Structure 1
């Protein structure tokens, strides 16, 4: 039968739980938020034929960078050039008839002014002149239309960008009904569109109004392979409507992309970072636990005894929890082994890597 003294001896001899503890320290942590996004080309156009004809040649390499105004497809233009010449001839003939009608009108006007001609003849001459001038206008429009159709036989790049694969080759018969011949996209600059929960956006705006954070934020991209895109962006669009299906607001950030590294439609992670980071008391985020009363941590107190401490977490950033209340700098919080410890239990605390 064991005595009371022997029971106390056995409790003292019980091994202490091994835990890892980290000191609460002041760190400079930027305000960050991460969202899923998708890259969207600045400009995108499907090139199509506006007149019918056979493709004589294609003047680009699929996937290459093209310049604004560069011819990409050339449609045979014999019939359209002939239509221009025909319209030019008809217009010149009409102009000659107009000039002749003007001379006749002036002659009849002179006769009437000397009472040597009938007023009816002058009226007829003026009507003939008006008809001749109308013919000139009509045929000038015909010439403009023929010239426009001739210009359409060269399909040019409306802006500088990267050209996709061609849907037709030389010798193909195309027309307005053919559809897209190739796709041209402008990748520099490029935009990243991402949705921000309405509650998050509202909280951000209220904190800006209170002066707690800056409205200006640096925007960075994490690509699909985990690499960080080297050039930061800036927010240039905030939608005025909330998406009722997701209760979120669409934002858009603009990025320079001179080398075309970012691709249209690519999935990315968008990180918004405050431009005014401040020194704040922080601990590793995994040290914070929660129950129905709120957040708490286990602190290694005097005599290496674990103590529960209620804390107020202001925010999380870069893997750390920023503590507003409940801890002082230098106090040790348990980050590993918390499941083996109860408040009031003695622990064997070591530093990370110890």
Structure 2
């Protein structure tokens, strides 16, 4: 399709993305940035680069293609900024940044439903909800299932461990302030004072796993974190503890986690992310009674997606008007962010 045009004929803005684009860039969000909803593809740009030499702004979401730096400089020489209405920019951002193009991400908007989902799971886990529910559905009688739930202490005074206090981890910690919980945190970049301001106590990874009733993982998937969560840590967990992963599956040594879960049926794993996704049909993740697997649903879905477009519409207006922006991505950030 043809790119958006201003009245003077300049191709100022273009819109790119995949099948979820209408959920993100709703009619309201499109109006806010002056777009009609017509989209272009990478093939369009490479086929007719002269049409895009005056493009200043690129709006996108999931399905954003990767361009090489040379392609950006040759085909989009006037591009000032990319407004990505979704979370992770790892798949495409570096060449744009290297070409001098600003990149903005709606990671804060996508973090909201993940944080909400995480807090809900934590509260339910501390009530023994998951084990009691599965117990009833597999034929256990009512009183036995209730007794299973009563092995869990509940939420008053329980200990929750947060691994990684980036955008999502911070939101989880802030939301947990509404409950009478002890919050521990492991983060390689934040000081004890910074974590204290979030209502959390800075501890080592080993201390966190050994002391927490629920361990919630929010590590980014970067080379330094791949396989960081190992069998020794899982084996050290408290009796009846729960491991919750809405971060990235690659940060977990899955074979070691499965070995511990098999040996310790008292533990529970709530896994919204695994590596690879989906797991193999023969994976024990699909059959172990103490594993509760969901198909990566914690992030924005359906109506929640519009929030990401709204964040980027406001960010565009601020950038275009020379006001302060809030969600820029830098080259340095790519080494630590999801």
Q: Which has the higher contact order (CA 8 A, sep 6+)?
A: 1
TM-score normalised by the shorter chain: which range applies?
Answer: under 0.3
TM-score (norm 1): 0.17
Q: Greater helix share, 1 or 2?
A: 2
Point out the structure with max Rg over C-alpha: 1
Q: Greater strand share, 1 or 2?
A: 1
